[in-house]
Structure 1
Amino acid sequence: MKDCYNLFYNESLNYKGIARPNANEVCLSSIPKEEKPLAMLYFNLDGYSTYCKKYKEYWSWVEKRNEERYKNNTSHDKNYDAKNMMHTFRLLHMAKEIGELGKINVERPDRNYLLALKNAEFEYNELVSKAEILREDLEIIFNNSTLYEKSDLKSVNSLLAELREKFYNLNLQIKV
């Protein structure tokens, strides 16, 4: 069986034990055939490796995190990243507008609400519920939307070339 080991004990034999300091695998010893196992050990190597990776990533994040943002997140005692939550709702609202209106509003009509989110003026559970409702609304909106399933690449590339040409011509005129 994967990751299962028989455990043996014998005072007169010099077994190595099952673990060494700083080792990530089970330590094995040669066992005489007549020895009888006392127990079975299951060592979830995949789970342990995943844990070690996440542990290392966490401490790397702690070392590199933006201390001011972290202090801001812990200061409001809401136990969530308020800036991240604000961006989540901004993107959800923008997606809804794209689906319903077919355009992107960069200047946000819901600016005050977004700032309230950034200031952690809401409870986490309330926000998760609202986000879930918005996500469900988005499925309905995009199923009923008149937006194209795929972009017309020829038109997009033509528009891109036209915009670049105008941009470079404008910059040349300014520099001269």
Structure 2
Amino acid sequence: MLSFCYVNEGQGVIPLLDYLNLKNWKQEDCGLINIPHIKDIYALFYGKQLGYKGIMQHEHSNELSLSSIPKEEKQQTLLYFNKDGYSSYCKEYKEYWDWVKHRNEARYQNTQNHGKNYDAKNMMHTFRLLEMALEIAREKQINVQRPNREFLLEIKNGKFEYKKLLEQANILQAQLDEAFKNSDLPEHPDLNYINQLAYELREDLYREGFH
């Protein structure tokens, strides 16, 4: 939740976590109060052993904590909580893990076993499809047999950390964008050719009697 909080610093805004690091403060020693008539913006105070409740009480909190602030205490800054963004994140996170759990129990168990907190099979297919798309752009053909089968199986088995795989996937995506930008492949498929090919394949199939 702290990742969805921002504070006023100078003439701009910075993430709360960066602000706390700059100040060498702990969130547990911060106190917040509402500012009337301004949605999701709070006055932030700081002080050790003043009984402040912190910005959040525990890591699973869904609401910011509010504190009783003595009148003589000085406000340090303003804090903005992107509550809508955080709610959307929580909703998508829950929906994702509900999908993982109920879509395939064996697959969910594999995700739990490798302990990397991501759907390893889905990640494996992400790399496979990105690489195949890159080959289409560069070589103008589809290579079904994968030359890096062992690497893909290692992804499926949860060998790699999610952050590392995401970095590699982003690199592949950038290469893919550049490859299609420079490719002379047509913008649209030749539908007449595709329809004719489908017709001929069906004719051959019927002629052989599905043997």
Please give the range of the TM-score, normalised by the shorter of the 2 chains: 0.5 to 0.7
Counterpart Cα distance in 1 of 2:94 and 2:169: 31
Please state if 1:168 is matched with 2:203: no
2:110 counterpart of 1:72? yes
CA distance in 1, matches of 2:116, 2:199: 48
Distance 1:65 1:167, change over 3 A: same
For the pair shown, which has the larger CA radius of gyration, 1 or 2? 1
Q: How does 1:9-158 map to 2 (within 5 A)?
A: 61=99, 64-158=102-196
User: As a proportion of its length, which structure holds more strand?
Assistant: 2
| Cα deviation, residue 160, structure 1 | 1.1
Change (3 A) 1:79 1:62: closer
Q: Stretches of 4+ moved more than 4 A in 1?
A: 53-63
Percent of residue pairs bearing the same amino acid type: 55
CA RMSD of aligned residues (A): 2.9
- Give 1:54 deviation, angstroms: 6.7
Q: How many pairs are equivalent?
A: 128
Q: Secondary structure at the match of 2:209?
A: helix
TM-score of the two chains, using structure 2 as the length reference = 0.53
CA separation of 1:101 and 1:167: change in aligned 2, threshold 3 A: same
State the alpha-carbon separation in 2 of the partners of residues 56 and 80 from structure 1. 13
Q: Deviations over 1:83-129 (max 9, x none)?
A: 00000000001001111111111111111110011011111111000
Give yes or no for contact 2:101–2:108 (8 Å, CA) kept in 1.
no
SS of residue paired to 2:141: coil
The question of whether the paired residues in 1 share the 8 Å contact of 2:100 and 2:108 is answered with: no
The answer (yes or no) to whether the contact 2:111–2:119 under 8 Å persists in 1 is yes
Greater helix content: 1
Question: Which one scores higher on RCO, CA 8 angstroms, separation ≥ 6?
Answer: 1
Structure 2 CA distance, aligned partners of 1:148 and 1:73? 40
> What are structure 1's unaligned runs of at least 5 residues?
5-45
Find the aligned partners of 1:137 and 1:83 in 2 and give their Cα distance. Answer: 23
